[in-house]
Structure 1
């Protein structure tokens, strides 16, 4: 049986070199009070012994961890993966790392994650609220304790002291549906997500506004608000929806790329020709639409850029003077319609 090695500590290096623990600590921090020759000996010994600095101990003395906490509703959504890539890309340029946690679309888990991060694990927090988040007291409490916060995507209400980054979901969906209408589509179906989530509410508003402005009949039978929070159930819901229709749609606007791809898969199985008989538009443009056959027209959401922007705003807060009130910034990023074979 192999015995597990004990982690090398400062006192182990000090004992080997017959110097004080304080001298070892100062030497590793490159303190000018320690002679260069002593510093060299300490660094060589630390390397030889496999010493790794204790980040928690360092953060206790410096007040910084150089870690950004990120809380997202789910791990399996390409949008959140792209946002996290953007956060990580920007943060690493400034020597920050990210710690990602999922709220699993639960307000309680969101609150628990915030409390965990509050205990000194991170320097600041980036958060996308869940569809269950109706009160923002837990976020305001974090801000009041001096922890910088940036919110993105599903922001139900403005929170003082936190920066906000999002897109204009209603305008983006209006433009997509307007495009379908101008192509002569009259029976346009809508597929959105859970009704309580603000981004889906806003995308539905954009759909309704376009239909009403152009006097296009809104068929309740052609509207689906998915209740599922995982892909397998979403697939089943969409299949059931199309199998039960008595009105044949000539276009479908969907609120995510995933809904769009599941829609096209189901329609093709049912014998629809895309785009000859029915056009499909997704929302996100996160890569999968390009490789599906036929390729899918999408509202391109700047997910990676959104990640970079939230990281930039958070790191800017780190550099603010601690004795001034933070002036909240609200950033709205642009979207565009990327045309492909499905329309």
Structure 2
């Protein structure tokens, strides 16, 4: 017969040491009211008995879990991985842990995840909204209830009470395309993601603005908005895009590193010389561009720093007095163009 092991509780430790439950609780919290020798006994006994603290139960008395909820649209995007690394490093240095969940690019899943976070699991939330998030009422509702929140990346509409961390996507794209134009490129293709996503809209705006400044007509045939949210199908979309072009581009500006690498892979398969015949620029600079041959020129986005700044702003909110009205902070981080062999 198999018996289920019962979870060790504070009273079990107290009974074994013949001290009060309150003393055990204070000792585990390293309360200075408890002697060092008693603290050491409690910690040793707790470890021997296999005690695991119940974080949620503990939060009922303290009002805090010291956990930050992080909600991202997808797990397989290097940009979000880097942002989460930045959040985690800053949070751990300030005695917080992070709980990461994915909305899977679904507005409905985004709302469901936020409801779970709201039910006492986290002290605050760092969120990148999905491309489907056109209505931010659910976010405004959370901040109006006092939930500290920081938004980053795909911010379609400002949320009252939430801090924002972003880059200037329009200017970053404009600068990259202007760089290509100044190198003599006139037939510049654009490869972006799903049209509804604000960051891709802004990067397309920057692309068009650069063409307009230099009086280069927009050729719709050279524009691809990938509809797929899966890497395998993105590859196929980009392959089909180049296969059916009647105008051969002399440069390609892409909205992510992944699109840039897929574009180069396709061009090299068709024996195009990079950058002699076609120059390519990616967006993100998350490490992959340096290992590809030729190496990829990128708009370098400070993804890790974005995560650190988001965590810093959230923890600052968490430490504010409850009777003080939070003053919104909007941070815009700088990007730069990192030139490599593809241009």
Aligned runs of 1:262-277 on 2, under 5 Å? 262-277=262-277
Q: Contact (CA 8 Å) 1:187, 1:217: kept in 2 or not?
A: no
User: In structure 2, what is the equivalent of residue 191 of structure 1?
Assistant: 191
Instruction: State the alpha-carbon separation in 1 of the partners of residues 245 and 105 from structure 2.
Output: 30
1:172: which partner in 2? 172
Paired with 1:80 and 1:39, the residues of 2 have a C-alpha distance of: 41
More displaced 10-residue stretch of structure 1: 30-39 or 110-119: 30-39
3-state DSSP of counterpart to 1:25: helix
**Aligned equivalents of 2:125, 2:16: Cα separation in 1:** 41
Tell me, in whole angstroms, the C-alpha distance in 1 between the residues paired with 2:40 and 2:295: 60
> Within 2, Cα distance between the matches of 1:36 and 1:159?
48
- 1:30 CA drift (Å): 3.8
Structure 1 81/144 Cα, relative in aligned 2: closer, same or farther at 3 Å? same
What displacement does 1:132 show? 0.2
| 2:248 aligned with 1:232 | no
After superposing on structure 2, the runs of 4+ consecutive aligned residues of structure 1 that deviate more than 6 Å are none
User: CA deviation digits over 1:148-203, x for unaligned, max 9?
Assistant: 00000000011111000100000000000001101111111000110000000000
User: Paired residue for 1:288?
Assistant: 288
Q: Which residue of 1 aligns with 2:88?
A: 88
Alignment of 1:316-331 (within 5 A): 316-331=316-331
Matched residues, number: 343
User: Deviations along 1:114-146, whole A, 9 cap, x unmatched?
Assistant: 110000101100000000001111111111111
Q: What residue in structure 1 maps to residue 62 of structure 2? A: 62
- Alignment correspondent of 1:256: 256
TM-score, normalized by length of structure 1?
Answer: 0.96
SS of 1:88's equivalent in the other structure is helix
Following TM superposition, by how much is the alpha carbon of 1:13 offset from its aligned partner in structure 2, in angstroms? 1.4
Distance 1:273 1:115, change over 3 A: same
**Structure 2 runs not aligned, ≥5 long:** none
Deviation sequence 1:238-281 (CA, Å, 0-9, x none): 00000001111100000000000000000111111111110000
Q: CA RMSD in A?
A: 1.4
> Are residues 41 and 248 of structure 1, via their aligned partners in 2, closer, same or farther at CA, if it must alter by over 3 Å?
closer
Query: Matched residues in 1 for 2:272 and 2:325: separation?
Result: 58
Structure 1: gaps of 5 or more residues: none
1:125 corresponds to which residue?
Answer: 125
Aligned residue number for residue 134 of structure 2: 134
Residue 97 (structure 2) aligns with: 97
Is 1:213 equivalent to 2:221 in the alignment?
A: no
**Is the contact between residue 186 and residue 217 of structure 1 (CA under 8 Å) also seen in structure 2?**
no
Residue 300 of structure 2 corresponds to residue 300 of structure 1: yes
Cα distance change of structure 1 residues 32 and 164 upon mapping to structure 2, 3 Å threshold: closer
Alignment map for 1:7-26 (pairs within 5 Å): 7-26=7-26
